[in-house]
């Protein structure tokens, strides 16, 4: 797969704040920052912990299992790269560690609902970019 074949937006993979997240996704690991003081998780990356207001964090592997907290079905492509995927679903997923992620729901969506169980699916988009997405888990 080459970088030129991918036509959708790509995040800044070299952004110092989020580069560890994207590097872990490349290895098919879901991560979040964890405060070095109070151990609370946070995502996306922040300089100061919203729980204890201390600085300092490390990236930690977190659960790849979660629950759909909210979702929207897109019937219009707001970027030309998504036009062939209409309709597509974007969800807010709360993982088992209580962290909220936003991502696409891939695969069958027959039982899509708030509260549905999901697991992380890693989509290799380019040679450098792997996108965490979500797939429904059979109940």
Query: Which pLDDT score is estimated for 1?
Result: 46
The stretch 5-12 carries a mean pLDDT of 92
Q: Binning pLDDT at 50, 70 and 90, where does residue 110 land?
A: confident
The stretch 36-55 carries a mean pLDDT of 98
Return the structure tokens found at 34. 């964890």
| Distances from the Cα of 116 to the Cα of 75, 92, 133, angstroms | 21, 11, 15
pLDDT digits (tens, 9 = 90+) for 54-67: 999 999 999 999 99
The stretch 113-124 carries a mean pLDDT of 97
pLDDT digits (tens, 9 = 90+) for 73-84: 999 999 999 999
The stretch 35-58 carries a mean pLDDT of 98
| Distances from the Cα of 22 to the Cα of 7, 15, 47, 59, angstroms | 18, 10, 18, 11
Domain spans in the chain, listed from the N-terminal domain onward: 13-62, 63-139
Q: Identify the burial level of 105 via C-beta atoms within 10 angstroms of its C-beta, where 0-12 means exposed, 13-18 middle and 19 or more buried.
A: buried
- Statement: residue 21 has pLDDT above 90: yes
Percentage of the chain with pLDDT > 70? 96
pTM of the model: 0.91
Mean residue pLDDT across the chain: 95
Beta strands 100-106 and 88-95 are antiparallel
CA-based end-to-end distance of the chain: 34
Do 105 and 118 contact (CB within 8 A), yes or no?
A: yes
Do 137 and 115 contact (CB within 8 A), yes or no?
A: no
Q: Which CATH architecture has domain 63-139?
A: Beta Barrel (2.40)
């Amino acid at each position: 797969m080459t970088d030129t074949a991918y036509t959708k937006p790509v995040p800044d993979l070299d952004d110092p704040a989020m580069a560890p997240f994207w590097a872990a996704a490349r290895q098919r690991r879901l991560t979040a920052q964890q405060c070095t003081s109070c151990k609370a998780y946070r995502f996306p990356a922040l300089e100061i912990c919203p729980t204890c207001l201390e600085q300092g964090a490390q990236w930690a592997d977190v659960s790849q299992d979660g629950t759909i907290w909210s979702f929207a079905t897109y019937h219009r492509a707001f970027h030309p790269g998504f036009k062939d995927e209409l309709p597509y679903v974007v969800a807010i997923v709360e993982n088992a560690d209580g962290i909220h992620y936003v991502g696409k729901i891939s695969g069958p969506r027959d039982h899509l609902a708030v509260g549905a169980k999901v697991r992380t699916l890693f989509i290799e988009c380019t040679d450098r970019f792997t996108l965490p997405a979500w797939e429904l888990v059979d109940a």
